[in-house]
Amino acid sequence: MGIALTRAAQWTTASSGTGKLEITPLNESLLKEILDFVENFSSRHPQEANLEFKEPLKWKTTLDPCNFKMEYEVSGQTVRSVEASSDGQPLLHLSSSTICVLTFSQLTKIVRIANDKKLKELRTCLEENRDPVAKILGPSFATVEGEDTSVLRFLEKVNSNEDKEHDVRIKLLILLKQLDTQLLSSLLKQISQEIRLSPDTVKNDVTLLKSFCGNGEQRVLISVQYTSDYEYLNGCRTPPWRQVHGEICYLVIHTCDTDPLYVTCSTAGVFLNGGIKQEGDENAYERKSDIYKDLVTLLKHHSPHFAEHINKQDFRVQKEPPSTQKIEHVEPVGAEEQGQTQRSYEHQEKNVHEKARQQPAQNKPGSKKKLEPSSKWKNLGLGSPYQEEDDRKASRSSILESSLQGIGKKKAELSSSSLHGHQSSQKIKTPGGGPSSEDQSESSSEDEEDEEQPERRPESHADLPSEYWHIQKLVKYLKGGNQTATVIALCSMRDFNLAQETCQLAIRDVGGLEVLINLLDTEEIKCKIGSLKILKEISCNSQIRRAIADLQGLQTMVKILDSPDKELKCLAAETIGNVAKFRRARRTVRQHGGIKRLVELLDCVPDSATLTQEQEKDVEVARCGALALWSCSRSTWNKGAIRKAGGIPLLGRLLKSPHENMLIPVVGTLQECASEKTYRIAIQTEGMIEDLVKNLNSENRELQMHCASAIFKCAEDRKTRDLVRRYEGLRPLVALLQETENKQLLAAATGAIWKCSISMENVEKFQEYKALETLVALLTEQPEEVLVNVVGALGECAQNPPNRAVIRKCGGIQPLVNLLTGTNQPLLVNVTRAVGACAMEPENMAVIDRLDGVRLLWSLLKNPNPDVQASAAWAICPCIENAKDAGEMVRSFVGGLELIVHLLRSTSKDVLAGVCAAIAEIAKDEENLAVITDHGVVALLARLTDMEDNLLRRYLAEAIAHCCAWGANRVSFGEAGAVAPLVRYLRSDNASVHRATAQALFQLSKDPDNCITMHENGVVKLLLGMMGSTDELLQEAAAGCVANIRRLALANEKARYG
């Protein structure tokens, strides 16, 4: 019962110390279940009931000693049981209203004695023993979250020690665990029935209530106010530490007939609080009333006036609140962030549906009343904006659709693939930014189709095309015909152009989908085949897909996958593949065991030279299975499910197939799944890289693209990069750079080149294949998803010095610098890195300087994205190092030095390290050092000295070393307490940290006080060790520092003993 108690029971939260179990229906049922368990324990499990607890359960009881009769010794206020434990302790002991109990049998007795107070006793017992299991069985059984190994551990113990008592104990443990599960499942049932409010629903309610406020006779309320005007991004208005309790906002509601109501809206419902006016008073958060499902119900209970008048309101003249419309549509788009995890997506989606489902349900209770306002709201407040939105979207999309949808889809696919592996979670924007309408239409035609797309229905019946009537007739025959008529109708339906949206929607609108899906449940193979052939075609339409999923079509199709008829299996799998293009469908497939069945379809012999007819059919089945898995694999959980169903080796085997139509879905699935680490490892270890590389040489562009894309995702790993080289995959990748017209292919190929070029050996190969020249040529007139990869590849290649000159010679510097003015953040990260790498060569630097590249880099420090900031800071270092007259150049940037010093306040370690490195370079110029000292660089650097990160430590030490050169900075560092932490850096395991630190200490040791601090921190011994290093710089710095300390000591002695 541990987990049920810690996780599911509702504890009061405000009061510190021992929590109280709140009096909620949920807790009540929980207590009753436990009580039931305890009451019957002695009779059901007599042996276990006599097992002594490891520690007694103790609590303050309200039981009177005189209630104890038989088997107890009662003397005044103390009660002792006659039964005693093995070491003589009484099994029950009551004194001064504290009761100690050692066995379940005693607990059972107490429950009987307590009679009508038993629930209360149990509650106090549980409140004071928050983890009873730990007390009963010992601390090793304390309830832990996540995987609980206590049973396993216990089993081991039992095995090693065959004691009878252990046997009993394990039985008890199992009993308790059973109770826990039972509790959880019954609670789950309850919880699932409860309403969950969301910030949006609350906001809508409040907006509506506000519109009922006023002065007229008809007014229902005087005012409704939030206690806080500030709204967090998640829509809550409560302080964050209250948000964790699910509280959304607090309201003060002035009704016409009661005192002001102080209301808390939380996800669990709405209740009165202790009167929160402003933040602060902790006690005010306590719940003071029952929980109501929404504001209206609460108001009806507390304000008779409201209850009476709300029904009289003339809602028809009520204007819809202006904000609702926006909210409803903004939310899903905003949630599109790529970085979000699957779980939260699914959760969100579920919420949306639940909300939709609840609304009608909410209207049922209390049906005695003539009118329920909430139902009216639905019609007026929520219903109509949807309608309008639909119409608007419909008209807009019909204009844009033909031209944009296709492009939009491709882009979206591209961006999702090219983004993978990139640190940033930002989304690539369409080139040029585009007007807002374009942005919106793209997001709605996103390949993920996360948004529930608006319905598009024909405007009126007047202009329905003739197909509509034909299809209606055919559907009539489908409904009312025997199998012969059905087959004829199905075949005839296939003669329509099912790729055309009019026909697809006509089938849906005349109720054809229901019939087609019903046919799948019949025994008639011919009807099933005919129906699936149609469903397969029309499911290209996203609205049809959703309709099929809504009609439970996926469940039936998943079942069909078990059919012995191979044609049927193929069609079902292909249709599933078409339908599972959106998240909910993919989840349905998984939840109904579809993934496992689809994986089973993959099992065939794809590569044998001569196939029998049956084997050929098997291959076809496998191909369709792969197609379906390809669609399903867009969901993270499905990726896991495919792996668990043993899909990886099967995919690996199919990868050997010589047929392109097989390879495309297989590689497509693999490249989709390669976003998961487990897959990347599997792809590498199962030898799939070889096949992927082989297929890079295919004639089929799509196949090449998926292969390149898979390599792109996998080549984060060094071994994979080596394998690609070993199987000679680099040359075909470079060859693909010629495909300048096929942007998707180009993006995948450049991505693969980028990731492969992280290995220097690969860079050498690329040099050999003259890849750099081609890449530089791609720096202009390419979409951003290609550019990101091209620039990334150049950045990696330029880490190898000879390549820097190559880039300059083929004119790469200019376009790179031009790209610094862009807005795409992943691109900027790569561009800054590439420019930085190029700047390491003085000749390049001259070009960059002439193009004013450093100023552009510097202005990127202002970019809101920390990745860009960090990368820009790193790029600035070689620029300063290699620029002629760097000091003057840096000074010429107005406010530049202040900006960079300010970045030392960043929270990102990368940014800090980069900025420290840049400051080290800047500080080499005395005048600039003076300026940054004025901006307070010393204190900021000193503040960072307790960081753990080695990279940061190294550059921080360098920056400190260089900043010491000005004025009283050495002393200031000492005063700011930077010296002692620096000494600790010498204990780090990183050689470059040692060197930089020794240099910093050497500089700092020129101040006597610092020497004393260093000495006190035991620097001498550490430095003596470093003086023996082979690194001359380290040697010299260490020696210099020790010498300074020594000199101080000598001077001291001299002064003393003179």
Partner 1 sequence: MSEMSAMDRKIIQNLAETLSRQVKHFNRTEAECLIRLFNGRFGDQNDRKTGHGLDRGKFRNILHNTFGMTDDMIMDRVFRAFDKDNDSYISVKEWIEGLAVFLRGTLDEKIKYSFNVYDLNGDGYISREEMFHMLKDSLIRQPTEEDPDEGVKDLVEIALKKMDHDHDGRLSYTDFETAVREENLLLEAFGPCLPDAKRICAFEQQAFQNPPEH
- Give 174 or 485: the residue with its C-beta nearer to partner 1: 485
- Give 282 or 467: the residue with its C-beta nearer to partner 1: 467
Shortest separation between residue 564's beta carbon and partner 1, angstroms? 7
Shortest separation between residue 528's beta carbon and partner 1, angstroms? 10
558: closest CA among 603, 595, 528?
595
640: closest CA among 676, 668, 588?
676
Q: How does DSSP classify residue 277?
A: S
Instruction: Quote the tokens at residue 657.
Output: 């197939």
Distances (CA, A) of 103 to 73, 129, 637: 17, 15, 45
829: closest CA among 711, 947, 771, 908?
908
The full 3-state SS of 6-38, as one line of letters, equals: HHHCCECCCCCCCCCECCCHHHHHHHHHHHHHH
Shortest separation between residue 504's beta carbon and partner 1, angstroms? 20
What number of chain residues touch partner 1 (CB under 8 A)? 24
**Which residues, 556 to 615, sit near partner 1 by CB under 8 A?**
564-565
Binding window for partner 1 (CB under 8 A); candidates: 12-20, 170-178, 508-516, 524-532: 524-532
Distance of CA 647 to the CA centre of its chain: 25
Shortest separation between residue 698's beta carbon and partner 1, angstroms? 32
- Give 145 or 495: the residue with its C-beta nearer to partner 1: 495
**Which residues, 457 to 516, sit near partner 1 by CB under 8 A?**
473-474, 476-477, 480-485, 487-492, 494-495
How far, in Å, CA of 646 to CA of 655, rounded?
15
Burial 31-55 (b: 16+ CB within 10 A, else e): bebbbebbbebbeebeebbbbbbeb
Binding window for partner 1 (CB under 8 A); candidates: 195-203, 521-529, 834-842, 867-875: 521-529
Binding window for partner 1 (CB under 8 A); candidates: 525-533, 754-762, 936-944, 1024-1032: 525-533
How far, in Å, CA of 1041 to CA of 1036, rounded?
9
Distances (CA, A) of 822 to 432, 740, 777, 780, 871: 10, 22, 18, 13, 15
Shortest separation between residue 501's beta carbon and partner 1, angstroms? 23
How far, in Å, CA of 140 to CA of 128, rounded?
19
Cβ contact 945:979 at 8 Å: no
Shortest separation between residue 565's beta carbon and partner 1, angstroms? 7
Shortest separation between residue 620's beta carbon and partner 1, angstroms? 15
- Give 387 or 563: the residue with its C-beta nearer to partner 1: 563
- Give 379 or 563: the residue with its C-beta nearer to partner 1: 563
How far, in Å, CA of 781 to CA of 787, rounded?
9
Shortest separation between residue 561's beta carbon and partner 1, angstroms? 17
The alpha-carbon radius of gyration of the chain (Å, integer) is 36
Binding mask 385-404 for partner 1 (x = CB under 8 A): --------------------
Shortest separation between residue 510's beta carbon and partner 1, angstroms? 16
284: closest CA among 250, 259, 256, 308?
250
- Give 249 or 527: the residue with its C-beta nearer to partner 1: 527
- Give 113 or 488: the residue with its C-beta nearer to partner 1: 488
Shortest separation between residue 191's beta carbon and partner 1, angstroms? 46
- Give 58 or 566: the residue with its C-beta nearer to partner 1: 566
First to last CA, the chain: 79
**Which residues, 292 to 351, sit near partner 1 by CB under 8 A?**
none
Shortest separation between residue 382's beta carbon and partner 1, angstroms? 40
Shortest separation between residue 562's beta carbon and partner 1, angstroms? 14
Instruction: Quote the tokens at residue 900.
Output: 């960079």
Cβ contact 363:375 at 8 Å: yes
Distances (CA, A) of 844 to 758, 802, 807, 1006: 22, 12, 9, 38
Neighbours of 437 (CB within 10 A): 12
Q: Give one DSSP letter per residue of 91-125, joined into a string.
A: SEEEETTEEEE--HHHHHHHHHHHGGGHHHHHHHH
Cβ contact 396:436 at 8 Å: no
Shortest separation between residue 326's beta carbon and partner 1, angstroms? 50
Residue 199: enclosing H or E segment and its boundaries?
A: helix 199-212
Strand ranges, E, within 557-690: none
- Give 489 or 771: the residue with its C-beta nearer to partner 1: 489
- Give 477 or 893: the residue with its C-beta nearer to partner 1: 477
**Which residues, 723 to 782, sit near partner 1 by CB under 8 A?**
none
How far, in Å, CA of 567 to CA of 381, rounded?
50
- Give 120 or 476: the residue with its C-beta nearer to partner 1: 476
- Give 566 or 924: the residue with its C-beta nearer to partner 1: 566
- Give 571 or 756: the residue with its C-beta nearer to partner 1: 571
Residue 263 β-bridge partners = 251, 272
Residue 529 binds to partner 1 (criterion: CB under 8 A): yes
- Give 380 or 488: the residue with its C-beta nearer to partner 1: 488
Binding mask 425-464 for partner 1 (x = CB under 8 A): ----------------------------------------
3-state secondary structure of 65: helix
Shortest separation between residue 628's beta carbon and partner 1, angstroms? 23
- For Cα atoms 600, 604, 610, give the angle at the middle one, nearest 5 degrees: 170
Binding mask 183-202 for partner 1 (x = CB under 8 A): --------------------
How far, in Å, CA of 589 to CA of 555, rounded?
7
Residue 234 binds to partner 1 (criterion: CB under 8 A): no
Binding window for partner 1 (CB under 8 A); candidates: 245-253, 286-294, 523-531, 804-812: 523-531
Amino acid at 318: Q
Distance of CA 227 to the CA centre of its chain: 31
Binding window for partner 1 (CB under 8 A); candidates: 522-530, 626-634, 637-645, 822-830: 522-530
How far, in Å, CA of 305 to CA of 257, rounded?
6
Shortest separation between residue 613's beta carbon and partner 1, angstroms? 11
Shortest separation between residue 525's beta carbon and partner 1, angstroms? 6
How far, in Å, CA of 408 to CA of 443, rounded?
8
- Give 491 or 851: the residue with its C-beta nearer to partner 1: 491
Which of 530, 553, 826, 836 is in the footprint of partner 1 by CB under 8 A? Answer: 530
Instruction: Quote the tokens at residue 715.
Output: 């080549």
- Give 488 or 939: the residue with its C-beta nearer to partner 1: 488
Phi first, then psi, for residue 21 (nearest 5°) are -80, 125
How far, in Å, CA of 992 to CA of 997, rounded?
8
Instruction: Quote the tokens at residue 616.
Output: 């050929």
Shortest separation between residue 572's beta carbon and partner 1, angstroms? 16
Which of 35, 525, 851, 1012 is in the footprint of partner 1 by CB under 8 A? Answer: 525
Shortest separation between residue 594's beta carbon and partner 1, angstroms? 24
- Give 490 or 922: the residue with its C-beta nearer to partner 1: 490
57: closest CA among 88, 92, 11?
92
- Give 565 or 843: the residue with its C-beta nearer to partner 1: 565
- The burial of 61, by beta-carbon neighbours within 10 Å (0-12 exposed, 13-18 middle, 19 or more buried), is given as buried
Phi first, then psi, for residue 821 (nearest 5°) are -90, 0
Q: Please give the residue ranges that form the binding site for partner 1 (CB under 8 A).
A: 473-474, 476-477, 480-485, 487-492, 494-495, 525-526, 529-530, 564-565
